């Protein structure tokens, strides 16, 4: 039996990780943590400028963080991005589906088009990425798919929190689609299990962006709703991705890691 001290379970050295939505508020922290643990990370997105701005001060960028043009709304773009990365690296170890897009917010006045856009950008886009990446993941060992849901894919919003902040209200199609992401993960975990590919879900709680944090009363309401009485820090979510991308989670699949300060307990 190997000495446990020689097993670097959280070491991602040599791993090629793809992440959509990797230059946003939470995605950036995940990318930086992944590279800290040794991974080579490809950030898939539409804007190279946003990528450059996000990682301008990261001294690891040139050797471990790369931009790959990709529009998750388009199958051809996704397929081309994966093919390009595989041709360069000869492997893809981990796919993290973090990106989403939607339109519309008002539960009463949302149009059919808004609904369809939200479902497409939050659920269908994840399906497209999984489908297109499977042929590459099948060729590897210990391949991983990590999907990002939301606490609102598990519980309904506490509307009292948003009573004085209607502009911040979480829209209905977002939660519905994020619930779908949880089930999609379970489906593919079962489908891909015999191939050794794990599929799990990260479920973030209240991690408001720096812009939203300027709304002090709203943030106070979010804090009061958690058991820890505070909002989350991006680096506190990043650890979930390290665990699920690493050998430490090798026997975990079809599961959800909820990182929400205890919001969904009550």
DSSP state of 231: P
The pLDDT value given to residue 178: 98
Compute the mean pLDDT over every residue in the chain, rounded to the nearest whole number: 95
* Structure token pair of residue 134: 């499977």
Domains of the chain: 12-157+171-209+234-260 (3.40.50.720)
> Strand, helix or coil at 180?
helix
The pLDDT value given to residue 266: 81
- Measured at the alpha carbon of residue 33, what is the angle toward residues 30 and 39, in degrees to the nearest 5? 100
CA–CA separation, 86 and 74 (whole Å) = 19
Over residues 249-261, the pLDDT tens digits come to 999 999 999 999 9
The pLDDT value given to residue 57: 80
pLDDT band at residue 61 under the 50/70/90 scheme: low
Q: What is the DSSP string of 6-26?
A: G--TT--TT-EEEEETTTSHH
In percent, the amount of the chain with pLDDT more than 70 equals 95
pLDDT band at residue 7 under the 50/70/90 scheme: low
Which of 1-10, 86-95, 244-253 has the least mean pLDDT?
1-10
Over residues 147-200, the pLDDT tens digits come to 999 999 999 999 999 999 999 999 999 999 999 999 999 999 999 999 999 999
Over residues 45-56, the pLDDT tens digits come to 999 999 999 998
Over residues 125-156, the pLDDT tens digits come to 999 999 999 999 999 989 999 999 999 999 99
Can you give the pTM of this predicted structure?
Answer: 0.95
- Measured at the alpha carbon of residue 199, what is the angle toward residues 67 and 44, in degrees to the nearest 5? 10
Strand 40-45 and strand 65-69: the pairing is: parallel
């Amino acid at each position: 039996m190997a000495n446990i001290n020689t097993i670097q379970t959280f070491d991602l050295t040599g791993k090629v990780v793809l992440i959509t939505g990797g230059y946003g508020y939470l995605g950036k922290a995940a990318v930086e943590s992944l590279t800290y643990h040794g991974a080579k990370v490809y950030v898939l997105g539409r804007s190279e400028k946003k990528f450059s701005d996000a990682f301008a001060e990261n001294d690891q960028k040139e050797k471990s963080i790369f931009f790959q043009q990709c529009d998750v709304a388009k199958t051809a773009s996704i397929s081309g991005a994966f093919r390009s990365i595989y041709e360069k690296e000869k492997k893809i170890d981990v796919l993290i589906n973090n990106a989403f897009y939607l339109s519309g917010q008002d539960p009463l006045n949302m149009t059919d088009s808004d609904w369809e856009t939200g479902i497409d950008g939050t659920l269908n886009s994840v399906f497209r990425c999984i489908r297109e990446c499977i042929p590459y993941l099948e060729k590897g060992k210990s391949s991983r798919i990590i999907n990002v849901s939301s606490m609102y894919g598990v519980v309904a919003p506490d509307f009292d929190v948003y009573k004085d902040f209607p502009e911040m209200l979480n829209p209905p199609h977002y939660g519905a689609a994020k619930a779908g992401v949880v089930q999609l993960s379970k489906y593919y975990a079962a489908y891909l299990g015999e191939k050794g590919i794990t599929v799990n879900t990260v479920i973030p709680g209240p991690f408001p962006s720096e812009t939203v944090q300027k709304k002090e009363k709203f943030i106070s309401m979010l804090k009061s709703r958690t058991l820890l009485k505070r909002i989350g820090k991006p680096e506190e979510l990043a650890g979930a991705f390290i665990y699920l991308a690493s050998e430490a989670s090798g026997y975990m699949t079809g599961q959800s890691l909820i990182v929400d300060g205890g919001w969904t307990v009550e």
